[in-house]
Amino acid sequence: MTTPGRQGGLGEPGFEVDPEAGAADAQVRGSDTTDRSAHLAAADGALLRADEVVAGYVPGVNILNGCDLYVEDGELVGIIGPNGAGKSTLLKAMFGLVTVGSGSVVLRGETITGLKAHSLVRKGVGFVPQTENVFPSLTIEENLQMGCYQSSGRFAERFEFVAGLFPALADRRKQRAGSLSGGERQMVAMGRALMMEPSVLLLDEPSAGLSPALQDDVFRRVRQINKAGVSVVMVEQNARRCLQICDRGYVLDQGRNAYTARGAELAKDPKVIELYLGTLGKVP
């Protein structure tokens, strides 16, 4: 049997629960996924929302079976759930990288379902995939230039913003991304996505593959990005820490919403702990 509080626990020194986390209204949905009323009531006016998204990679094989999600201006939203639950697929569906069979994705009231990634970037949606998220043969600076190739006149101004968040990137701007550590690459990847001044950033497992200390660093930086005014939707395998820092969290299971509530509430919900945090909460 797992011992969820053992590792990555809420009382872990050096990783305090932010008292402001979870300040948004709680929207709890139990295992009854047919009840969308809480989502519909709360998602009205959201910055970005996904409604009843059905999506998959192969015609006739749905991975997402009607997912709902919303993020409000300024919110930090986490998505957790078992491997294969469809977390990455949901981010990709919102970023036009997976065909949405039915349902919708709406950004500030405008339907963006099926729009291509480059259009979404222009509209203020940023995406950092889990892997292969930097150009290894390019320098840090060139990677960041790629991030704003659609608006290259803004490079200097945006570089300053990104360097403010990640000073190490500015110091080493001429270094090839391929020679960086995993944690540094993650900074480059996030920095690249921030170059177009996104209003919402979609992050797929930013802490994956990093040491516990570097994971903490990534979580702090995500918080910092969020505090700088960027709304964030973050998928995380490090479920406990994710729930500690996010305003609201979603648990996805088998392509469906299983639970949603304030991050801190999900983290202490006995059912969520039993079903999802036992092993997911472990620091690798």
Site string for Mg ion, 82-111 (x = CB under 5 A): -----xx-----------------------
Q: Single out the residue of 68, 61, 143, 128 nearest to residue 97, CA to CA.
A: 128
- Whole-number Å distance between alpha carbons of 127 and 112: 15
Q: Is 207 in the site for Mg ion (CB under 5 A)?
A: no
Report what 57 binds from ligand ADP, Mg ion, none; CB cut-off 5-8 Å by kind: ligand ADP
CB of 235 to Mg ion, least distance (A): 6
CB of 206 to ligand ADP, least distance (A): 13
d(CA 174, CA 256) in angstroms, rounded, equals: 44
Give me the least distance between CB of 78 and ligand ADP, in Å please.
13
C-alpha 164/C-alpha 183 separation (Å) is 17
Q: 166 vs 250, which CB is nearer to ligand ADP?
A: 250
- Nearest approach, Cβ of 173 to ligand ADP (angstroms)? 32
> In the complex, what is the shortest distance from the CB of residue 87 to ligand ADP, in angstroms, rounded to a whole number?
3
Q: Which residue, 88 or 207, is less far from Mg ion as judged by CB?
A: 88
With beta carbons less than 8 A apart as the criterion, state whether 89 and 260 touch: no
Q: Nearest approach, Cβ of 200 to Mg ion (angstroms)?
A: 19
Residues that bind ligand ADP (CB under 6 A): 57, 63, 81, 83-89
Task: Report the partner that residue 89 touches, choosing among ligand ADP, Mg ion, none (CB closer than 5 to 8 A by kind).
Answer: ligand ADP
Question: Minimum Å distance from CB 83 to Mg ion?
Answer: 7
Kindly tell me which of 183 and 255 has the beta carbon lying closer to ligand ADP. Answer: 255
Residue 87 or 240 with smaller CB distance to Mg ion: 87
Question: Could you give the string, one character per residue 47-86, with x where binding to Mg ion holds by CB under 5 A and - elsewhere?
Answer: ----------------------------------------
Distance CA 206, CA 188 (A): 11
Q: Give the integer Cα–Cα distance in Å for 48 and 92.
A: 14
Question: 257 contacts which partner out of ligand ADP, Mg ion, none, CB within 5 to 8 A by kind?
Answer: none
226 binds Mg ion (CB under 5 A): no
Q: Which is nearer to Mg ion, 158 or 185 (CB)?
A: 185
Judged by the rule CB under 5 A, the positions of this chain that interact with Mg ion are 87-88
